[in-house]
Structure 1
């Protein structure tokens, strides 16, 4: 099953995003569940966390060449927002 592409994202606190997908659905995604993996340690810094981009294909949110989160992860493990 293809997952909808990421349309937009916004930070709502130091470690949480609200992500809107191309199908207009939104998911709330708490990044702290990834903080046990060393690659994600920089995201503990709120200033760094807020500095992201959406991949041009809508397939991921990217912080740098080492840190990204896929649309699948956010869609599958985020909570539905109204």
Structure 2
């Protein structure tokens, strides 16, 4: 099975609620992932809030063309859940 997101919802600040096709879901904070030419503009919360589920790529995308792989997002979800525990 190829991993992908099935739901992307902007929460607040740099947080998204993600649901994956493997049944996992949760909140991911991307504040520390926004570096590099494509992601720097997303430090503007207005830009970050444009996050959406891309209908073809089936992952998080933003209005400026940035996107993150579902595998990366799921790994971040796991890491952040472990840190919170």
TM-score by length of 1: 0.75
For structure 1, the 5+ residue unaligned runs are: none
Match of 2:48 in 1: 49
What SS does the corresponding residue of 1:39 show, helix, strand or coil? coil
Structure 1 distance, partners of 2:35, 2:26, is 22
Q: 1:23 to 1:53 in 2, by over 3 A?
A: same
Cα deviation per residue 1:37-74 (whole Å; 9 max; x = unaligned)?
23211111111111122122454211146411110110
Higher RCO structure (Cα 8 Å, ≥6 apart): 1
What SS does the corresponding residue of 2:16 show, helix, strand or coil? strand
More strand by share: 1
Match of 2:20 in 1: 21
Please identify, of 41-50 and 58-67, the stretch whose mean Cα deviation from structure 2 is larger.
Answer: 58-67
Structure 2 distance, partners of 1:8, 1:15, is 16
For structure 2, the 5+ residue unaligned runs are: none
Are the equivalent residues in 2 in contact too, given 1:15–1:30 (CA < 8 A)? yes
Match of 2:59 in 1: 60
